[in-house]
Amino acid sequence: MDKPIKTKSQSITNLIRRSVVISGTSVFIIVFLISLYFNYKNVQSEVSKNFIKILETVAKLVAPSLAISDTGQTLQTLAWASDDNQYLAVISNDSNVLLKDYSLANSINSLFKEGVVTANCKQIILKKIEFKGKAYRVFCEPIIGKHTLFRVVNKPIKLGIIIGLDSYHTPLFYTSYFITLILISFITIFLTIFWIRMIFNNKLIRPLLILKEKISIVSQTPVDKTVNIGLIKQAPEEINEIQAAVDNLLHKLRDEFEQRIKYDKKAALYELATQIAHDIRSPLAAFREYLKSIVNLPENERVLIRKATQRIEDIANNLLTQHKNSIPTTTLTIEQPAELMAEVIAEKRAQFRRHEINYHSNQDSYCDFALVNQSLFKQTVSNLIDNAIEAVDLEGKIEIIQENESGKIKIIIKDNGCGIAKELLPKILIGGVTNKKQGSGIGLSSAKRNLENWQGDLIVDSTINVGTTVTLYLPVCPPPSWVTSSIYLASDSIIIIIDDDCSIHNLWKQRFANILQQNNIQLLNFHEPEIALTYHFEKDQKLIFLVDYEFIGYELNGIDLIKRLMSKGPCYLVTSHYSEHAISEKAEKLGIKIISKNFASYVNIKIVTQSPQYILIDDSKLLCETWELTAKFKQLSFEYFLSIAEARLKIFFYPKNTFIYIDSNVDKYIKGEEFAKLLAEVGFKNLFLCTGESKEKFAHCEWLKAVIDKNPPF
């Protein structure tokens, strides 16, 4: 760690202490100067009062002498009362001036000339005069007496005026008032400084020192340790804001450090995953080529090997996907959980032959679809089954049940194994904790996270030595357009089964056993696609094709075969590749319905008994229902289809003179007029294009009887 750079800047505590001392000293000096000023004024006032008293006393003393014109006695009294700083003079009524120092006579006479001293003057006169380099203040006091030289009067009369000159520059000396003021000021300032210093120490300096110490401790703590400064008691709000800002900064640094560690781990894992995926894919490619050359294996074994191979490849792909980015990107698709469950369970039964794994589902399971990531769903179910198998002994049982509960898919995986302790279960669901010796503790937590990402949930109930029940919930979503909900048959029709697996032929034979004779329906079985293609069918026969996807030894697959047969009648692709997106995407584009071999025993079988007079093929359900209401009001038989794929399943059973109205844009893969052309080729005559576009655009469609608007034609 780099050492902190030393600077000449002072600590904040020293700055605060110096500021307090300087402020206190400044205040003391200011108070001292103010005290001097008021002391000076006080001394001036005291001197003035004393001098006025002297004037009053001298006036009383000289009054008798002045009354009898005793100048000598008057001068003697004035000399006694005067000194170097104070001069007294008496001005009689006859304007005689009696002074100790007659050199001031001119100055005093000027006071009369300037009107400063008048006969009625009283007390202090605010006038300054200069004499012998000094400034003097002028005071005057009338001399009052009750007798004169010649007579005694009853009433006091004015005998003259006494003039006093006091030196204007009063020498500075300290009174008790001044000393008291200085002492009080000093004590007050000292106490104030002490009080301010205590406040600064308790509210600022001490919290700052504590904050400094805590930051120093935190700075020496490893980044991966969780350490916070925390609130400082009795600290000002600003210091606590600094503390909060430092804590926030520490939190961000810690998060950044953790993200960096995670990034480094993910980079290392991705590098390892890339190598593992490469090592897995090479032998898989060779194994897949070898599998193609094996023609004697039963289909169920071929399917199992193929699915297991695909699962291994999915695991390799998931390794790359999960570790390539910090947040794995997984594509969600509409899947049939029952089909995916059946594939995983078949794999687990082959893997754990000595364990009893029971799977229960019903017809509703075949109709339920959910929006999930196919590979992660299989991996999640596989891990949960592995957990159950590890928890039981050879005599243990594993029950897997799928059902529909309140519009949600419910999957239960139950075992009677060792169970999980109640106090350990919440930690296991969080992740990183396990009750297995070699477990990583991510199985249940990863499963729960996946289910929550798919808007579902995972609930675990476990009891020691009783067992564990894991329940998965997924919201139901609408099925894809290629899903087959029902197989439609008609009386006097022929069912053609094209499959190289004898077990599938037996399955269909059992499914159709009760309806063949009742409805005069024939069942034809073909094990080789080429023979089915060369078989001669009558033109007006009602044909239904159930076609396998994979034929061993043939390059031709089921979709290729259906392309050639779909003009003859409704075609269903019956395959164990049900969950493979590449196949379902091709089927959707061609309007082909798919049936899973795993659930062939659950698909509904319906007999078409009535033929409508009018048919509308349009993707707007509102428009179709409007036509239906109009037809019902006019007592006409009417049927509508929302897609061409749906129409293909039944329309070939209807009379060729049925009125068929098709929207031009009913399907994104095939135009309505093109489907009408196919129907015309098999004999339908009353074909109409129902569209809002101009009729001239479809002038070349000679097979159309007319182009009309969207209004019901009846």
Do residue 386 and residue 454 come from a single domain?
yes
List all residues 6 or more positions away from 2 whose beta carbon is below 8 Å from its beta carbon: none
Report whether 341 contacts 598 (CB < 8 A). no
Range of the domain at 597: 486-608
192 HSE (CA, 13 A, CB side): 13
Distance separating alpha carbons of residues 126 and 632, to the nearest angstrom: 127
- Please report, rounded to a whole number, the percentage of residues in the chain having pLDDT higher than 70: 74
341, 286: one domain:
no
Q: 142 with 211, same domain?
A: yes
User: What's the rounded Cα separation, in Å, for the pair 707 and 714?
Assistant: 15
Q: Is residue 295 domain-shared with residue 202, that is, in the same domain? A: no
Residues 600 and 644 in one domain: no
| Residue-level pLDDT at 353 | 83
Higher per-residue confidence, 147 vs 501 = 501
More confident residue, 189 or 135: 189
Residues 75 and 98 sit within 8 Å (Cβ to Cβ): yes
Q: What is the CATH number of the domain that holds 341?
A: 3.30.565.10
Q: Is the pLDDT of residue 409 over 70?
A: yes
| Residue-level pLDDT at 147 | 60
How many domains does the chain fold into?
Answer: 5
Residue 3 lies inside a defined structural domain of this protein: no
Backbone CA torsion sign across 487, 475, 469, 328 = positive
Q: Which residue has the higher pLDDT, 484 or 318?
A: 484
* 671 and 582 share one domain: no
Q: Residue 232: name the closest of 259, 256, 214 by CA.
A: 214
pLDDT tens digits for range 374-393: 989 998 999 999 999 998 98
Choose one of 608, 633, 657: the last residue of a domain.
608
| Residues 630 and 588 grouped into a single domain | no
Is residue 691 in some structural domain? yes
What 3-state DSSP class applies to 75? helix
Instruction: State the angle between helix axes of 12-67 and 176-200 in degrees (0 to 180), rounded to the nearest 10.
Output: 170
| Overall average pLDDT of the 349-369 stretch | 85
In tens, the pLDDT along 431-464 reads 655 555 444 345 788 899 999 999 999 999 999 9
Asked if residue 118 and residue 14 are part of one domain, the reply reads: yes
Q: Which residue has the higher pLDDT, 466 or 185?
A: 466
Q: Letter for the amino acid at 187?
A: I
Confidence band of 625 (pLDDT split at 50, 70, 90): very high
**What is the three-state SS of 293-348?**
CCCCCCHHHHHHHHHHHHHHHHHHHHHHHHHHCCCCCCCCEEECHHHHHHHHHHHH
3-state secondary structure (DSSP) of residue 224: coil
Cβ burial, residue 383 (10 Å; 0-12/13-18/19+): middle
> Cα separation of 205 and 198, whole Å?
10
Q: Which of 479, 537, 515 is nearest to 524 (CA)?
A: 537
**Does one domain contain both 16 and 129?**
yes
* Boundary (domain end) residue, out of 314, 329, 344: 329
Sheet of 493-498, strand order = 522-526, 493-498, 542-548, 571-575, 593-596
Residue 714 lies in a domain: no
Residue 630 included in any domain: yes
Beta strands 614-617 and 659-663: pairing type? parallel
Mean pLDDT of 200-219: 73
295-346 tens-digit pLDDT: 566 666 666 676 667 667 666 666 655 555 544 456 899 999 998 998 888 8
Q: Mean per-residue pLDDT for 553-563?
A: 91
- What pLDDT sits at residue 438? 41
Would residue 540 count as lying in a domain? Answer: yes
Contact in structure between 375 and 328 (CB atoms under 8 Å): no
- Check: pTM over 0.75? Answer yes or no: no
Q: Give one DSSP letter per residue of 367-418, joined into a string.
A: H-BEEE-HHHHHHHHHHHHHHHHHHS-TT-EEEEEEEEETTEEEEEEEE-SS
**Whether residue 535 has pLDDT greater than 80:** yes
Structure confidence at residue 512 as a pLDDT band (50, 70, 90): very high
Sign of CA dihedral 649, 651, 652, 654: positive
- Taking residue 261's Cβ as centre, other Cβ atoms within 10 Å add up to 12
Residue 119 has pLDDT above 50, yes or no: no
Give the CATH number for residue 513: 3.40.50.2300
Average pLDDT over residues 523-537: 92
Instruction: Give the confidence band of 55 by pLDDT, cuts at 50, 70, 90.
Output: confident
CA distance 105 to 89: 9
Residue 200 near residue 20 (C-beta atoms within 8 A): yes
Most confident region among 29-33, 215-219, 549-553 by mean pLDDT: 549-553
Work out the pLDDT band at 624, boundaries 50, 70, 90.
very high
CA distance 458 to 448: 5
Last residue of a domain, one of 152, 186, 220: 220
pLDDT in tens, 124-167: 444 555 655 566 677 778 888 766 555 555 677 777 788 777 76
pLDDT at 684: 95
Over 50: is that where the pLDDT of 279 sits?
Answer: yes
Amino acid 149: pLDDT: 53
pLDDT at residue 464 in the model: 92
Residue 457 confidence (pLDDT) = 94
427 and 325 in one domain? no
Q: Over the chain, what is the mean pLDDT?
A: 80
pLDDT of residue 487: 95
pLDDT score of 107 more than 80: no
Reply yes or no on whether the pLDDT at 1 is more than 90: no
Whether 301 is covered by a domain: the verdict is yes
Query: Does 339 lie in the same domain as 325?
Result: no
Domain co-membership, 663 together with 578 = no
Q: Is residue 226 part of a domain?
A: no
